[in-house]
Amino acid sequence: MSPRENKIIRIAEGTSPEDATLQFMMNCLLYSRIETGHESNAGEYDEDVNVYLAHLLNSFINPRYFRAARKYITDYDTDIFARLEKSRDTRMKYTLYKTNADYLLLSIGIFSAGCPETCRARFPFHNGRRGKIQRGQTYYRFAFSYSQRISPRSSSITEVLGKLSRGFEKYVEILSHLRGEHFNLYDRFTDGEEYHILRAIDDTEEREDLRRTQDEFLDLYREWKEHPGETELRKLEDVCERLRTLDPTFKFVPTP
């Protein structure tokens, strides 16, 4: 009998749906740590990493997470460096590195069974497992550094980011095991099916983001026409720039 046939993950009665999914993620994670020989606290205390990863796994089934994270996630180091050069906001830099590190960790561990040649150009994260692991380690290390600047005193999240940087490859191995033995994704999705699911999610998010930005533009345009001040104009110009990013055909020049 295979491990997945012999294992039942029980959820306490009366548990809310949100808590039930979080409990399920935590149980899957703990089973996977035992089954891969990476039990908690073996090398250093890392039960806090378990909590972080369970919440991260749980967040990936929530569309609100993608809507909040997509503005930070990028495929290339050069994009990150370009954004960093334009900002002096330490918290933004921290969020940029942390969000991309989280995405890489789950991209490699949970969604990296392979990718057909046709999708590699669209999803560069599928290129080179070793390179992706090195990027993930580096991003968590930078996030750790910026977290220290935000909160000089030792904090729980800062310690977790440091552990994820040092043990990135170990946690990828745990998540890769979890993917097959507990999420059963190897049996459910082919490479092509996974690509089309990712593409459909991406398209849906882009359409929703475009619609929200268009609504924001109309509201700000009306506000600017009624009160044509410098503040209103700057807000309108900002939303126009975001609209052009989402829709290159969009053209608008504010005229009083």
Domain boundary, last residue among 162, 188, 214: 188
240 plus 184 within the same structural domain: no
Q: 247 and 211 in one domain?
A: yes
Q: Check whether residue 26 and residue 136 sit in a common domain.
A: yes
pLDDT of res. 216: 87
pLDDT at 195: 60
Taking residues 163-183, report their average pLDDT.
92
Q: Does 129 or 92 have the greater pLDDT score?
A: 92
pLDDT of res. 31: 93
Side chain identity, residue 71: K
* Residue 226, domain extent: 189-256
Report how many domains make up the chain: 2
Query: Where on the phi/psi map is residue 114: left (φ > 0), alpha (ψ -120 to 50), or beta?
Result: left
For the cut 90, the answer to whether the pLDDT of residue 163 exceeds it is: yes
Instruction: Write down which residue in 164, 188, 212 finishes a domain.
Output: 188
Specify the higher pLDDT residue, 97 or 245: 97
Query: Which residues, including other chains, have CB under 8 Å from residue 58's CB and lie 6 or more apart?
Result: 21, 22, 25
Higher pLDDT, 60 or 148: 148
| pLDDT range class, residue 6, cuts 50, 70, 90 | very low
Among 166, 188, 210, the domain boundary falls at 188
Which one is predicted more confidently, 232 or 101? Answer: 101
Mean pLDDT computed over every residue of the chain: 80
- Percent of the chain clearing pLDDT 90 (strictly above): 32
| Judgement on whether residues 247 and 176 belong to the same structural domain of the protein | no
97 and 19 housed in the same domain: yes
**DSSP, res 125:** G
Number of H helices, E strands in the chain: 13, 0
Compute the average pLDDT of residues 204-228. 82
Whether residue 148 sits in one domain with residue 53 = yes
Half-sphere exposure (CA, 13 Å, Cβ side) for 247? 16
**Residue 112 and residue 169 in one domain:** yes
* pLDDT beyond 60 at 4: no
The pLDDT tens digits for 127-159 are 567 888 999 999 999 999 999 998 877 688 999
Paired tokens of 39: 């039990």
pLDDT beyond 70 at 183: yes
Strongest mean pLDDT among 59-73, 97-111, 118-132: 97-111
pLDDT of 185 above 70: no
d(CA 62, CA 66): 7
Do residue 173 and residue 60 come from a single domain?
Answer: yes
More confident residue, 6 or 133: 133
Report which of residues 182 and 91 the model is more confident about.
Answer: 91
Considering the domain architecture, whether residues 184 and 206 belong to the same structural domain is answered as no
pTM, entire model: 0.64
Select the more confidently predicted residue: 237 or 166. 166
- Residue 110: is its pLDDT beyond 60? yes
CA 129 to chain centre: 17
Higher pLDDT, residue 139 or 229:
139
Same domain flag for 175 and 212:
no
Q: Which of 30, 24, 22 is nearest to 9 (CA)?
A: 24
At 99, the pLDDT band (50, 70, 90 cuts) reads: very high
